[in-house]
Chain A
């Protein structure tokens, strides 16, 4: 009777059932099957957070690739006492912020502003945003968040869109919880001002309802 000694398919199947931390530890030991499983599992979350910070789906995919390459390079430095997600989010937000700072990203933000100006012209003064589709809301966010610093934007995204609490955000960004609260406070203040400046009808329409 023959024994199955090695099967990559079986390894892959096993890997999909392992917890994140175990996959990370196996990847650190050079297990490429475990690393691929980790990439497949975490890509949606990384693309999602990167998309909200950099503002463009294609750029977000590029950032996600850089994130996983950085993970692969630095797995030896991952401290398995902590959550793998926190470490991953830290790399993802840092690289997204770096990307946001690049001139290419600024040019794209400018393009989004032009789009919004056109969108605003199409909207009647008292029209509410109920008609705005999610994609348009996301585009609106990219425009009004253009005045936020990278850290402010990252904190707002993690808090309001990624369901992270203050403590976790502080761990991700390696700063104090009071700093996170400050960033969030300032982000909200700037967003309020920008929404009122760019889409005054939006708030007026909502207030009337």
Chain B
């Protein structure tokens, strides 16, 4: 499940809520976030999303924040049972940061730590919509690692289709 959290409230109450999405967006733009934009999911993008997630997104559009050649996305993906809410910033077609905002699974919490998420910094999409690098996993957290890797690829793909994609 991937949610356009921007469509609803940006406040989350959950056991493993490490940062509120609105705070992530504010931080991503130095305290002055732009007005949210919306990305419509057309047929071509839908097919690419299916390639990344191995299923449809299930929404018509996604809310995101963009300025210059930089975009911020709040995306969810299920690891094993429950969605992991993630904030991702993309600049000029590369991952600038990926932050686990809410983790609801029983196992695999390690994916929230910088020692893991730092591996995504600078990652780009290569042919086949894969990341241009190998992401080392965490034993016992395979599904959480896989979920975050998918979300990183998805954010890069969405950035490319956004109004702020120039400059790659």
Partners in one complex: no
Chain B residues with CB under 8 Å of chain A are none
On A, residues with C-beta under 8 Å from B are none
